[in-house]
Structure 1
Amino acid sequence: MSTAQRADPSRAAQPLLTTVAIVASCVAFVVIGALQALYGPAIPALRKDFGISPAVAGLSLSGHFGAAVVGVLGYHLLRERLGHRILLGASYLLMALGAVVFATAPDWPLALVGTFVIGLGFGGVDYGLNQLFAVAFGRRSTAMLNLLNGHFGVGAIAGPALVGWLGAGHYPGIFLGVAVVCVLILFTLGGVASREPEPVAEATSGTGARVAPIIAAFIGVYVLHVAIETGVGGWEPTHLETVGFAAATAATATSAYWAAMTIGRFVVVPLCLRFSAPAILTVCCAGMAGFLLLATLPSAAPYAYFGVGLAIAPIFPTCLPWLNRAVPSVAAAGAYVMAASMIGGVAFPPLLGVVIDALDVKALPVVLFALAGVCLLLSFWLRSNAPDPDGLTATNPGSAGTTRTSEVQT
């Protein structure tokens, strides 16, 4: 027997998020999704404005992601001391400040500082809201996290579309608009509880010895699925052109893949109320593997990659509440997996490039299929070894109607 930490019911009656705060959180995820996707379309204008090479311009994205990891870990370390309301407010202000600096910078070094400041706020908002949604809705948390992260995809699609509509040269105005939205969101923070309910000790069925392997398995799932996500997103156009598709068709198929990442999260929301997180993860990992195997057939590849996007989409938001339930005594578990996934998203694309150089771009789906196979094995292991005491059970869909006192009250 081991002692786990569970929410104190005497303090759980206070809602963590009001309706206004929930809506504002979804808007915030549209904003961070757009921010992440804006750098690439802005590169031509950045090169023109600052006289830099494509590789140097790409440092904007590297600086953003590097700072985001710091933001995630910093938020976690300060969460108990300062609480969600103050840290989210600081994160929104950092994003606003960084966007203003980036938009008005007279030289490239100062613009890079702006991307770093944006990244700090980005990491804080990403971690803070995901953490709140993971615990605020009881058994509906998985569904609500998919809904929240679906709005990230909306922003990731809308940001580049806005650049395409206005023109890359108008990127300063777009970043200034982002800063204004971040400031407006500050006025909704009164609907965010400063602190989560204090945990109380509760005896559980002996998971203490398995905590480290469970966290490691979740980190593996997060890193590998993000590696597959970025691998497909970065190399799909090249692979499709290599097997005979026109450049325009390859670009359209890649856009459809990213759209599938958004669609999948919205589609899975009602399914999360009927099926358990372990069941959803297993199906998603099997789907990734199956569609990547299908992508080895040239004629089916564009459609297979769309299927890969649908399968990947629910993994990130579905696993986070399950992780919190599986290792409730490790408050840093969520920060570990989110930081690891961000690092993997930055580190894996160059590694994949080395592998493809050594083999051939036609081997892309086979290489990613191998990663998906490892994900599938990890999902089976987690399903057997990581308890999900408060999650739904696939054999009892009706339990979705049961709520807990820690759920949001609207």
Structure 2
Amino acid sequence: MRTLIARPGKAVRSDRSFSTPAIVASCVGFVLIGALQSLYGPALPALRQDFGLSPSGAGLALSAHFVGGVTGVLAFDRAFGRIGNRALLGTSYALMALGSVAFALSPSWPPALLGALVTGFGFGGIDYGLNQLFATGFGRRSPAMLNVLNAHFGIGAIAGPALIGLFGADRYPSVFTAFAVLAALLLIPLRGVRDRTPTATGGAPDDSDPAVRTTGAARRTAPLLAVFVVLYVLHVAVEAGVGGWEPTHLEAVGYSTTLAASATSVYWLMMTVGRFLVAPLTLRRSEPVIIAVSCAGMAVCLIAAALPGVAPYAYAGVGLFIAPIFPTGLPWLKRAVPAAQRAGALVIAASMVGGVAAGPVLGRTIELFEVRAVPVVLFVLAAVCLAATGWLAHATREPQGGSPRTP
């Protein structure tokens, strides 16, 4: 029989970092962070009206959320393994609860932005922290559990805009407050999380060692890692840009507020569906091929979104094609940049920069031109993603009888 590490009323198997209730709570946590990220876009019209904001000013809410997310990822990465897992996750949930309440109830825009920043900090801690714990906490079942966990992010991203569409953009404070209560309740099942995760054995050398960092091999990984960062920053900018500005663009070309919010939910739904659909394809096609097709399809759909008659359907296509890039790119990154043990944390944090920039950049574009320019700007970013993927595919291609190319 497997040894059980027990707490009163809780039990964690020796080969896991989570009890069953804690697994369920973690999946609910990913529903929560998916919903919180997707709420800002449908709430933008009400935010502009309540606080008298320009498009770029309102877009700062999503940017503040992502700035907090970057900080949360980096802070959790630094603290991981040094303090208890329950303390780290509990702090993240508490910050999400406090930030969401502050955003919902702030009487003026500066404290609302601070609330979005604090919410984002907790978001980043949960995003990176649970991914890291699930990656090491289930033994051979960890990859499957990671897929289950991240699927719940998509469920939350679908539910967020749907709730705004159901209750109305002007009721966004109630929705944020409800999610704050949920975040607070998720503190309870943390007793089922093992406080310390056993250190994995084997694998690549730790790039925190100065001797490893200064080797020629490590230096040669710099161009690869830099281009992976570009790919992740820009594709997340497209993802956040569509999620944040699709409702505004659709309303500007003649669609109702309810339909625009519902179309945004469909966009997030297609992202979730796309990740399920690509799973069997990864057994027959390489990561570079899948990501290249994804970037090309994303670019074509964004150009189509400039046509008002097909815009809602085109944005759904963007969701379908963009879906595989993040999860499919991580194993490619790990194989292509083996010297960078913490490359995954770097690209997750760097990718949030795309989310930080998407709000004000697109808002400024609207001010200089008009809202119809949004899909064209995002098309340019998708085209750069495609170029970056082509470069990476060439640089990491395995020659016959040899190892992967090194730039």
Q: 2:225 aligns with which of 196, 215, 219?
A: 215
Corresponding letter in the other structure for 1:54: L
Partner of 2:92: 91
Partner of 1:149: 150
Q: Percent identity?
A: 58
- Aligned runs of 1:3-402 on 2, under 5 Å? 14-41=15-42, 52-55=51-54, 59-103=60-104, 110-134=111-135, 144-166=145-167, 171-193=172-194, 194-195=196-197, 197-200=199-202, 208-234=218-244, 236=246, 246-248=254-256, 251=260, 253-272=263-282, 275-295=285-305, 300-352=310-362, 365=375, 367-386=377-396
CA contact (8 A) 1:147 1:265 kept: no
Q: Deviations over 1:93-136 (max 9, x none)?
A: 22223334445556665554433322221111112123334555
Corresponding letter in the other structure for 2:53: P
Do the aligned partners of residues 86 and 236 (structure 1) sit closer, same or farther apart at CA in structure 2, a change above 3 Å counting?
closer
Gaps of 5+ in 2: 1-13, 206-215, 399-407
When structure 1 is superposed on structure 2, of 220-229 and 361-370 the one drifting more is: 361-370
CA contact (8 A) 2:59 2:359 kept: no
User: What is the alpha-carbon distance in structure 1 between the residues aligned to residue 107 and residue 376 of structure 2?
Assistant: 46
CA contact (8 A) 1:140 1:273 kept: no
CA contact (8 A) 1:147 1:266 kept: no
CA contact (8 A) 1:260 1:306 kept: yes
CA contact (8 A) 1:43 1:54 kept: no
CA contact (8 A) 2:204 2:339 kept: no
Q: CA deviation at 1:253?
A: 4.7
User: What is the alpha-carbon distance in structure 2 between the residues aligned to residue 347 and residue 269 of structure 1?
Assistant: 30
Q: Deviations over 1:29-51 (max 9, x none)?
A: 11112222334555677678xx6
Which secondary structure state, in structure 1, belongs to the residue aligned with residue 340 of structure 2? coil
Corresponding letter in the other structure for 1:86: A
Q: Deviations over 1:80-105 (max 9, x none)?
A: 31253331122112222333444555
When structure 1 is superposed on structure 2, of 362-371 and 275-284 the one drifting more is: 362-371
Which secondary structure state, in structure 2, belongs to the residue aligned with residue 81 of structure 1? coil
Corresponding letter in the other structure for 1:284: S
TM-score with structure 2 length normalisation?
Answer: 0.73
CA contact (8 A) 1:146 1:269 kept: no
Do the aligned partners of residues 306 and 46 (structure 1) sit closer, same or farther apart at CA in structure 2, a change above 3 Å counting?
closer
CA contact (8 A) 2:291 2:328 kept: yes
Q: CA deviation at 1:290?
A: 3.8
User: What is the alpha-carbon distance in structure 1 between the residues aligned to residue 139 and residue 335 of structure 2?
Assistant: 10
CA contact (8 A) 1:29 1:148 kept: yes
Do the aligned partners of residues 287 and 33 (structure 1) sit closer, same or farther apart at CA in structure 2, a change above 3 Å counting?
same
Which secondary structure state, in structure 1, belongs to the residue aligned with residue 291 of structure 2? helix
Count of aligned positions: 371
Corresponding letter in the other structure for 1:257: Y
Corresponding letter in the other structure for 1:256: V
When structure 1 is superposed on structure 2, of 207-216 and 99-108 the one drifting more is: 99-108
Does 1 or 2 have the higher relative contact order (CA < 8 Å, sep 6+)?
1
TM-score with structure 1 length normalisation?
Answer: 0.73
When structure 1 is superposed on structure 2, of 359-368 and 369-378 the one drifting more is: 359-368
Do the aligned partners of residues 297 and 94 (structure 1) sit closer, same or farther apart at CA in structure 2, a change above 3 Å counting?
closer
CA contact (8 A) 1:142 1:277 kept: no
Which secondary structure state, in structure 1, belongs to the residue aligned with residue 202 of structure 2? strand
Corresponding letter in the other structure for 2:26: S
CA RMSD of aligned residues (A): 4.0
CA contact (8 A) 2:158 2:266 kept: no
Do the aligned partners of residues 307 and 379 (structure 1) sit closer, same or farther apart at CA in structure 2, a change above 3 Å counting?
same
Q: CA deviation at 1:343?
A: 1.7
Which secondary structure state, in structure 2, belongs to the residue aligned with residue 247 of structure 1? coil
When structure 1 is superposed on structure 2, of 268-277 and 307-316 the one drifting more is: 268-277
CA contact (8 A) 2:45 2:169 kept: yes
Corresponding letter in the other structure for 1:72: V
